[in-house]
Amino acid sequence: MTETIINLETVNPIEFFGVNNNKFDILKKKFPLLKILSRGTQIKLSGAPEQIDLAKEKIDLIIAYMQRNGHLSENYFEQILGGDDAEVIDNFIDKNPNEVLVFGPNGKTVRARTANQKKMVQAADKNDIVFAIGPAGTGKTYTAVALAVRALKNKLVKKIILTRPAVEAGESLGFLPGDLKEKIDPYLRPLYDALDDMIPADKLGYYMTTRTIEIAPLAYMRGRTLDNAFIILDESQNANDLQIKMFLTRIGSNAKAIITGDPTQVDLPRNQKSGLEKASRILQNIEGIAHIQLDEEDVVRHKLVKAIIKAYDKERENETENSYHR
């Protein structure tokens, strides 16, 4: 058994330990094999060397985060303790401030975390329309929302409009119970979740009330002209040819648009064809329109998601090959 002392002199110990030592209790639960004691501005770790090393790495990351941001919520405290080191560093300990797209609530940084996400950011900076195509979990929507929030905060646009097809309701929401918001919210929840990560709740509520940020199903874009806006069409694989054309022709002056989609997850009825493939194909060589392809290497969800995507891709290739040889 060995012992290690960690000093908290560079951060606020009260902020580190939490109200009623709530955060300190989380730390102890995460490392049940260690004896962890607090003495003033010090933490004493006693136990097996490998356990001490792991705990010290996590505590050092927490200290580094607090040195930069000051406040650290219990939620982020627990995430830092529980995530693998690469995930923690990417999410919380930003190495290049110039790459930060948005500083979210509690100081969390939002930035492009993979090579293709960075290409997506660069493409959006240089073009007015960007197609971002790739499988689930590659950060298409999250990065697009971050770019929109950055543009709003920097006063490059006056509003953000987020839309996606409500395919399960066939774009006809009248038969569902509740008011309009209650009808469409289940389809638009991922967009709200991304915004929650980037804008404090009270400010987001204000933006929604004043329609500075608008979230609506694709059907409600018809007939509008969208000026001075950052517009995102999410889950575009579930829009047909006419719907995507309708969306693209809504774009007005001083507007940017990002179209995200996953061609392998089309939920349209069998008698309807996705318009995403056609749109991305016929708009390939138009100046001002960029096309970014993301793949399983860009997956930023649970590490098993990458393996799942590869397995399904392999199965689809086998099915295609078997069909060809029949």
Report the CATH number at residue 142: 3.40.50.300
Do 88 and 197 lie in a common domain? no
Do 303 and 175 lie in a common domain? yes
Residue 105 confidence (pLDDT)? 76
Q: Residue 112 is encoded by which pair of tokens?
A: 């492009």
Q: Which of 72, 93, 114 corresponds to the end of one domain?
A: 93
68 contacts 50 by C-beta, under 8 angstroms: no
Helix (H, G, I), strand (E, B) or coil at 131: strand
162 Cα distance to chain centroid: 14
| Residue span of the structural domain in which 10 resides | 2-93
Q: Give which of 239, 180, 242, 246 is closest to 214, Cα–Cα.
A: 180
Q: pTM for this structure?
A: 0.65
Percent of the chain residues topping a pLDDT of 90: 41
Q: The tokens 């927490």 sit on which residue?
A: 62
Do 116 and 60 lie in a common domain? no
Is pLDDT above 60 for 233? Answer: yes
Do 106 and 88 lie in a common domain? no
In a domain, 326, yes or no: no
Distance CA 38, CA 44 (A): 6
- pLDDT tens digits, 253-297: 999 999 999 998 888 888 889 999 999 999 999 999 999 999 877
Q: Residues 234-244: what's their mean pLDDT?
A: 93
User: Looking at residue 70, which CATH number applies to its domain?
Assistant: 3.30.1370.10
Q: Residues 312-325: what's their mean pLDDT?
A: 71
Q: How many domains does the chain have?
A: 2
Q: Which of 93, 121, 149 corresponds to the end of one domain?
A: 93
Q: Residues 232-236: what's their mean pLDDT?
A: 94
Q: Which of 93, 121, 154 corresponds to the end of one domain?
A: 93
